Amino acid sequence: MQRAMRYRISFGVTLLLALVTLNGARAEPVPVSPAQGTVQVAFTPWDDAESLLLETLGRAQREILVQAYLLTSRAIANSLIAAKQRGLHVSVLADAHQHADNPASLLVSLANKGIPVWLETRYRNAHNKIMVIDDGTQDVVIVTGSYNFTRSAQRMNSENLFLVRGNLELASRFRQNWERHRADAVALRPTGSQ
């Protein structure tokens, strides 16, 4: 009886350790960021999330980091190109499979306009949909939600677009995650054609 009990306890501890271990490293507690700034949410198709996003991109002053599952919206791509032309640092990460499987992907167009683009190949789905705008400033904006950066997201889908403004600590976490993914990604080379 005691032996069986010790085995169950030992197995339980082993199982617990296995559950808190990820890729051989101990899982760290997930930090809690204090509520700061403002929050705005748009729901498609009822709200004009695309215009809200374009307006936000148009107000960017310094930097735009993008992490996309798919980018096929010409309006969003044009806003990113316009930001680059205004002198902002713009960088894009995207899912490699979605880019390869969707002829409407605009990533090559962005790369051809001088915007660094990296493709995430490590994951089955690089499913993040985020932007970090003007990190490190009081005007920082985090864009996230289910909203893909596609034409369909506004016109044909039921989506949410979530903007958090003025939360420097949370933006820093999003940036760190972006940079961690960027380190594993493969650069998309421009084709030379516009």
Task: Yes or no: say if 79 and 58 are a contact pair by the CB < 8 Å rule.
Answer: yes
**pLDDT tens for each residue of 128-184:** 889 999 999 999 999 999 888 888 887 888 888 999 999 999 999 999 999 998 899
Average pLDDT, the chain: 84
Taken in order of first residue, the domains within the chain and their CATH numbers are 33-187 (3.30.870.10)
- Predicted pLDDT at 2: 52
CB atoms within 10 A of CB 57: 23
Query: pLDDT at position 104, please?
Result: 85
Determine the pLDDT at residue 24: 56
The answer to whether 137 touches 61, Cβ cutoff 8 Å, is yes
**Residue 75 confidence (pLDDT) above 70:** yes
Backbone phi and psi for residue 165, each to the nearest 5 degrees, phi listed first: -110, 140
pTM value?
0.82
Task: Tell me what the mean pLDDT of segment 114-133 comes to.
Answer: 85
pLDDT at residue 3 is higher than 70? no
